[in-house]
Structure 1
């Protein structure tokens, strides 16, 4: 079984009135290659007549964003012409690649009515050969995500990408990333399989768990060794975990704002291309969420 290398707390970093916690990057962990960044927004309840999420048009290049809508809803619009509103239990997977401008805002219905909101956004790096790949986007609703029974029927794995228990997730990852989120009832225990050499991304969204004998509370990221092909997680309370894994890229990493590349020159070129309008026109995305 894999063992725990380190446990990293998420640090509070609110954005306007949006409760935000960030476990990655943190003071003691830059990345869990190829996983770069995680923002945990909420949980919180928005009143009727709220302003919604503050993520107006902004650019990205060189990586992918995976957004989990646990509660609430999220409107997506980007300069590649992709548009959707994803409800609770759904996922958005955007490959920024060579460059996109996108907006992530609350739909008008949510702003009028309010309600609970909890959203996770994970950034996944792309290898040098795919940094400038053609952008793409997939939005998947809850009903289209396979749910698999684990922990002797006391848990559920929601499969986003990759294979598990004979099922295949609805999103095809360019780099064979496995991605899911897991729900466990109090007292449940599950052995989760991971091929040797793949890096595990494991974040405790809610509840208290025991990972390979180490107690871990909510809002903590867990680093595991990569020398074995499974690990055990037990739930002290009803728990929710973000669980993914992938082969490390092991390439130079230069990140600046919304761009993640392999050199300073590539970062400078990204800014130049954005200023030149090569990512698309942000003005056309202002009405996202209407």
Structure 2
């Protein structure tokens, strides 16, 4: 079985009244190439007449954002003219590429009614040759995302991108990123294979998982060695796991604020382009 290099605890970083845990980057882990950043918002319950999510218009360049709405909703709007409201179980995939301004806030209904909220946002890097690709966005509802089961139904998976066993994911990717959300009943086991040259992203959202005899509780991210293809996850309680893998780009990563490029000069240019309005109008 593939062995564990280190288990990293998510750091608590609230944003206003939004409960937020950051599994990556932290003081102990910069990134798992090509996965750059992961924030876990919630779980929490919003009262009626709340302010909702605080992520108003802001730019990105050089990377992709993948947003998993576990509970609650997100109203997305961007400078490419895309709009959507995606509810619990849905996923948004935005390729910022050459530059895009977007907002991710709560719907008017959620702000009025309130309710439970839990969301993960993952940043995925783009290689140098694709940094300035054309921006795009796609949001899918829960019922539009393929699901598959394992271990006699004790494990179910939403296959977001790439492939899990023989199930193809809902999103086509530029860089062959494999992502799934796993839901494991107590005692459920997932056995799968990951290519040796792929880095694994494995974050325990809820519950408790055993890997190679090591027990890993919720709000921890596992960093693996690249030594075996076989991987086995066993749930010790009802659990939810973000699981993915991809081949690393092995390129320089320079990240400043919302931009992720290969050099500081490219970061400076991104800020200039944003200030000059070259990333579009977020309010169109």
TM-score range, shorter chain: over 0.9
Q: Residue 260 of structure 2 corresponds to which residue in structure 1?
A: 260
Q: Report how far residue 196 of structure 1 moved.
A: 1.4
Q: Residue 56 of structure 1 corresponds to which residue in structure 2?
A: 56
- Cα shift readout 1:64-118 (whole Å, capped 9, x = no counterpart): 0000000011110000111111010000000000000000000000001000000
Partners of 1:110 and 1:151 lie apart in 2 by 36
- Name the Cα RMSD after superposition: 0.9
Q: Report how far residue 168 of structure 1 moved.
A: 1.1
Q: May I ask how many residue pairs the two structures share in their alignment?
A: 284
1:177–1:245 contact (8 Å) kept in structure 2 = yes
The alignment status of 1:245 with 2:242, answered yes or no, reads: no
SS at structure 2 position matched to 1:42: strand
Q: Which structure 2 segments of 5+ residues have no match? A: none
SS at structure 1 position matched to 2:103: strand
Give matches, 1:59-70, under 5 Å.
59-70=59-70
Q: Which structure 1 segments of 5+ residues have no match? A: 286-290
Q: Residue 216 of structure 2 corresponds to which residue in structure 1?
A: 216
Q: Report how far residue 152 of structure 1 moved.
A: 3.0
Q: Report how far residue 191 of structure 1 moved.
A: 0.9
Q: Report how far residue 165 of structure 1 moved.
A: 3.3
Q: Residue 288 of structure 1 corresponds to which residue in structure 2?
A: none
- Cα shift readout 1:148-186 (whole Å, capped 9, x = no counterpart): 111232010110111223221110010000011101011
Partners of 2:4 and 2:151 lie apart in 1 by 20
Q: Residue 174 of structure 2 corresponds to which residue in structure 1?
A: 174
Partners of 1:214 and 1:96 lie apart in 2 by 37
2:165–2:192 contact (8 Å) kept in structure 1 = no
1:185–1:238 contact (8 Å) kept in structure 2 = yes
Partners of 1:8 and 1:210 lie apart in 2 by 15
Q: Residue 20 of structure 2 corresponds to which residue in structure 1?
A: 20
TM (normalized to structure 2)? 0.98
Q: Residue 94 of structure 1 corresponds to which residue in structure 2?
A: 94
Partners of 1:265 and 1:240 lie apart in 2 by 40
Q: Residue 157 of structure 2 corresponds to which residue in structure 1?
A: 157
Give matches, 1:103-114, under 5 Å.
103-114=103-114
Partners of 2:160 and 2:171 lie apart in 1 by 6
The alignment status of 1:119 with 2:119, answered yes or no, reads: yes
Q: Residue 273 of structure 1 corresponds to which residue in structure 2?
A: 273
Partners of 1:190 and 1:7 lie apart in 2 by 19
Q: Residue 38 of structure 1 corresponds to which residue in structure 2?
A: 38
Q: Residue 194 of structure 1 corresponds to which residue in structure 2?
A: 194
